[in-house]
Amino acid sequence: NDRLLTAVAENTPVTDAFRVADDILRQGVRGISDIITVPGLVNVDFADVRAVMANAGSSLMGMGTASGKGRAREAAINAISSPLLDIGIERATGIVWNITGGPDLTLFE
pLDDT in single tens digits along all 109 residues of the chain: 677 787 889 999 999 999 988 888 888 888 888 888 888 888 787 888 888 878 777 777 788 889 999 999 999 998 888 666 667 777 777 788 888 888 898 989 8
Q: With contact defined as beta carbons under 8 Å apart, do 60 and 87 qualify? A: yes
Amino acid letter, residue 104: D
Helices 14-37, 46-53: inter-axial angle, 10-degree rounding: 120
- The model's pTM is 0.69
Amino acid letter, residue 108: F
Q: How far apart are the first and last CA of the chain?
A: 34
